[in-house]
Structure 1
């Protein structure tokens, strides 16, 4: 997540710096920028550069500022509003698809605030179909926004009213049955297709998984258990099981590490080997170069570049490189 925090008062600016310092250690936050004052101008210039905006100000200021910028729940960033005293966090925009509800709860836990969530599915203990798409990195079809919005609205209204929706799952995604809200929201069925389908009264909404890759680097001689623990811990940071991964990748220099290969096999995936030349010639704004790796192997890094390369063009990091007992993991998804 690329996140921006903007404040309008001196007390708000202090809280913004506190929040920023907390998020520096969160591997799921790729970048945090802090702004102060000039709210309308800043939002007009940078609204879509970030996945989430946290406004430390009166709700009315934020509402008036973003109103001309809003387009659709499918591409608007999440917007949260926090009082300068840090007591409440309001999920204002893109609560489901943008993850504002999720991040409001997370941020509230960091600063000891009360999250304010108003979406009907959440208030009724259900998981909306668009929330499911956000949480598990799924693209929603069909391509027409009006048709897609109508299907989502109908499904979520049915769920909020106490109904259940049929959910067809590929074998790889049967782990969704373990989600605590799935059984109260959906009737799950396994099928042979590679995508997920929500079906209500003959109307179908299809969700296609985005390609997700874990890039792995390690010290020499790491064990299968070390690598598996690192992968599981990395995915837990994203609130995902390892079964959600589509591939595990490492660099050519680690191709002989049996621990990495066996951990990939344990999850049921082949280990993808990325040639050194591909890494040397690769650059991406999400990558943080490693001087040590560059001096030793002549490449900018291992975990982050291999994850992004193997995820494909239009990929982004959703977990920056994080070390777990001799094993480094980064996770990337393809946004297409």
Structure 2
């Protein structure tokens, strides 16, 4: 998640600086940028450039600033509001799909504030369909149906999930079992459903959840064993609250194509691995990729794990876990859009 933090007062600016320092240490936060004052100038830019905006200001200023920009729960960024004294963190816009509710809880813990969340499914401890989609990185083909399904969930009605019997959806079942929020679900199997899709139905209403492609980029020192690489991958996925089985592909640079640790990990996890050509890596440009001077001097590329993950996740993909080192192993996670 790429976050813009904007403040309007000196006290708010201090809160922003402290928050940035804390968020920068989180591998799931790709970057945090600070802005101060000039809200009329900045908001129209930030709204389209960042995944989330943390506004440290009065709620009236915030609401008037974003009102002309709000379009859709599918595309609007997460908006979180904090008061100057950092007493409250309020999820203001895109609580589910945008991730504002989760960000509110994260920030409130970091700064010792009270989280304020008002979405119906959350306050009634029910698990919304859009929350499932957000948490498991699934796209929704009929977003207008979200309201119908979430209303049914609030009423305690049973939702049907139909999946392909040839696909292992263990990650979905584990997720549903581990969630503390309630949802009544029955699981059905049908070969008519594509392997990467989940058909959600109730009465005459249907929507399809489709897996976005998750790619784990791996870099490592020569000779790193499978178990050492696995530990890094496991920690990264745990930070994302995802099981390793949700990963669709492993990736690295072609200079690593004979690394037995990576190859063995691919076999044992039964996850395919792709090695990206050096020429593609040399041509690849992204503002979000951390540049390594050592890798650049040795191989002529900016990095291994981040660019290889982004390339294999596809056009317009984004990082959801920035390059993180684990004793000679580097992991980055990218997801398709």
Render the CA deviation track for 1:42-101: whole Å, top value 9, x for unaligned: 112331111101111111111111111101111111101011111211101000110100
Maintained 8 Å contact 1:47/1:77: yes
Say if 1:258 and 1:266 are closer, same or farther in 2 by CA, change over 3 A. Answer: same
Rounded to whole Å, the distance in 2 between the matches of 1:279 and 1:29 is: 23
Look up the match of 1:119.
119
Match of 1:235 among 230, 237, 253: 237
Tell me the secondary structure at the aligned position of residue 84 of structure 1: coil
Look up the match of 1:287.
289
Rounded to whole Å, the distance in 1 between the matches of 2:6 and 2:290 is: 25
Tell me the secondary structure at the aligned position of residue 274 of structure 2: strand
Following superposition, the deviation at residue 113 of structure 1 comes to 1.2
Say if 1:187 and 1:125 are closer, same or farther in 2 by CA, change over 3 A. Answer: farther
Match of 1:166 among 144, 160, 175: 160
Say if 1:182 and 1:176 are closer, same or farther in 2 by CA, change over 3 A. Answer: farther
For the aligned residue pairs, the C-alpha RMSD in angstroms reads: 1.5
Of the structure 1 ranges 268-277 and 240-249, higher mean CA displacement relative to structure 2 is found in 268-277
Look up the match of 2:87.
87
Look up the match of 1:15.
15
Rounded to whole Å, the distance in 1 between the matches of 2:275 and 2:29 is: 27
Maintained 8 Å contact 1:230/1:328: yes
**Residue ranges of structure 1 left out of the alignment (5+ in a row):** 143-147
Following superposition, the deviation at residue 183 of structure 1 comes to 8.6
Maintained 8 Å contact 2:126/2:181: no
Rounded to whole Å, the distance in 1 between the matches of 2:94 and 2:189 is: 30
Rounded to whole Å, the distance in 2 between the matches of 1:107 and 1:188 is: 35
Look up the match of 1:35.
35
Rounded to whole Å, the distance in 2 between the matches of 1:114 and 1:197 is: 37
Tell me the secondary structure at the aligned position of residue 86 of structure 1: coil
In the superposition, the TM-score normalised over structure 1's length comes to 0.94
1:58-97 pair list within 5 angstroms: 58-97=58-97
Of the structure 1 ranges 108-117 and 177-186, higher mean CA displacement relative to structure 2 is found in 177-186
Of the structure 1 ranges 125-134 and 163-172, higher mean CA displacement relative to structure 2 is found in 163-172
Render the CA deviation track for 1:249-285: whole Å, top value 9, x for unaligned: 1111111111111112222112211121221121122
Of the structure 1 ranges 187-196 and 60-69, higher mean CA displacement relative to structure 2 is found in 187-196
Look up the match of 1:303.
305
Maintained 8 Å contact 2:248/2:272: no
Count of residue pairs brought into register by the alignment: 329
Say if 1:87 and 1:183 are closer, same or farther in 2 by CA, change over 3 A. Answer: closer
Rounded to whole Å, the distance in 2 between the matches of 1:24 and 1:103 is: 14
Rounded to whole Å, the distance in 2 between the matches of 1:30 and 1:223 is: 28
Of the structure 1 ranges 32-41 and 51-60, higher mean CA displacement relative to structure 2 is found in 32-41
Maintained 8 Å contact 1:174/1:190: no
Maintained 8 Å contact 1:322/1:328: yes
Maintained 8 Å contact 1:78/1:98: yes
In the superposition, the TM-score normalised over structure 2's length comes to 0.94
**Residue ranges of structure 2 left out of the alignment (5+ in a row):** none
Following superposition, the deviation at residue 133 of structure 1 comes to 1.2
Deviating above 4 A after TM superposition, structure 1's stretches of 4 or more consecutive aligned residues are: none
Look up the match of 1:132.
132
